[in-house]
Amino acid sequence: MNINQGKKLSSFHQKKENKEKFLNFLSNGSSLLEEQLSFSKNGQQKIPLRSFSAKEIINSTNGFQERVGPYLYKGNFNEKNILVKKYERKKKMKRQHDYVIRDIVISSEISYHKNVLKIIGYCLEFERVALVYEYSQFDYLFNCIKFLTWERRLKIAIDIASVILYLHIEFPRPIIHRNLTSNNVILDKNGVVKLYNFECCIPLPIGKVKVQDDLMGTIGYLDPEYVRSNNVTLKSDVFSFGLFLLMLLCGKEIKVNYEGIYYCEDYGLISLENYAKMCIKNNKLEDNLIDSKILQEDQKKLKAFLNLALICAKNVGENRPNMIDVAKELQRIKKGELQSLLTTMECLIDWN
C-alpha cells in the first residue's frame, strides 16, 4: 500500500467514525428529549447539563484508563476532576439504552439534592450514552460500613430516606427507584452519603398505585410481590429500604429470596421477623442482626431501628408503611421520641 492509498483509507475510516458519532448523537438526542418531555415541563432540566463530545470524554479519561467502580472512570476536564459512567455494549440488554437515558433525566431533576451524586453532563456520540458527574474522592458504603458509628449509620438512613421520599412525592408522577442497594450508595471524602444510578426508576401512571413492568433490580432486595406479579409499587421501594436498614444495623447485607424469605445456617429458611425473634430469644443479636461495634449504643433506639426495618421488609405491601412515615420514624429515633409508635407502625419485636 502506497502513501496515497494509506491516506485515503485513513480518511475513509475517519469519515465513517464521524458519521457513526453523528447518527448516535441524533438517535440518543431524540430519545433524551422525548424522556425529558415526559418528566419535566417543556423538557427543561432543573440543572443545565453540558453535552460533551466523544473526543472530550476519551481525552479526559485517557481512554477510560482509571476505573473507580462498575462502569465508572475518573477523568480530568479543564483542570477539574470528573467521574464518567459509560456502559459496555451488551447485545442482550436491548433496553439498556432506555435505562441510561432515564438515568440522565432523573439525575438532572434531583441532582441538587445534597444526597445525590451531581450530574453535570453527558455524551451522546457513543452508542451507549455516557454520563458525567462531579468528582469527589469516595468509597462505596459496603466497603466502610463496619467502620461507621451508630450516629453515622442513622444519619445515612435518614439521608437516603429523604432521597427516596423525594422521588415518591415531588414529581408530577411518583417515581419508584426499584434498585435501592448498598451498591448504589457512596460516601464522599467529607462523609456525605450520595445515592446514584437512577436507571431502574419508573413513574407511576397518573391515578394509579402500581405499574406492570419486567423485573428490574438486584436479587436479594426485590419486593416478593413485584416478583410474583410484575407489578411494582411505591411499597416496593419501602421493602428494599427495609433491607438497607438491616444492612446498616448489622454491618453486612441481609438478602432474601424471591419469596422474601431469609436463609441462615442456624434456622434454615425463615422470615426476617421470626429470625429477629429467634436471635433475641437465643441471645444471638450480636453480629447476626446488630453489629457488635454498635451493640452497646442506646438500646431503645436500636430496637426501634430494627423494628422499623422489619416492618418495611414485610412480605405484603399493604402492611408496609409509606415512605413519608418511614422518614418520620427515623427522625423520632434520632430524637429519642420512642414513648409510643406512629399509628402506622406496629411493634414486632421486644427485648430487655
CB of 188 closer than 8 Å to CB of 81:
no
Cα separation, 102 vs 109, in Å, equals: 11
The percentage of residues in the chain with a pLDDT greater than 70, rounded to a whole number, is 82
**pLDDT greater than 90 at residue 178:** yes
Q: What is the pLDDT of residue 28?
A: 54
Nearest-CA neighbor of 322 among 305, 337, 303, 342? Answer: 342
Q: What is the pLDDT of residue 44?
A: 56
pLDDT in tens, 193-213: 999 999 999 999 999 999 999
**pLDDT greater than 80 at residue 74:** yes
Q: Among 44-48, 176-180, 185-189, 240-244, where is mean pLDDT lowest?
A: 44-48
Q: What is the pLDDT of residue 202?
A: 94
CB of 115 closer than 8 Å to CB of 109:
no
Classify strands 50-52 and 67-69 as parallel, antiparallel or unpaired. Answer: unpaired
| Burial environment of residue 227 by CB neighbours within 10 A (0 to 12, 13 to 18, 19 or more) | middle
Q: How many CA atoms lie within 13 A of 248 on its CB side?
A: 29
Domains and CATH numbers, the chain: 15-134 (3.30.200.20), 138-335 (1.10.510.10)
3-class DSSP string for 69-89: ECCEEEEEECCEEEEEECCCC
CB of 185 closer than 8 Å to CB of 332:
no
**pLDDT greater than 90 at residue 348:** no
Place of cell 480530568: 76
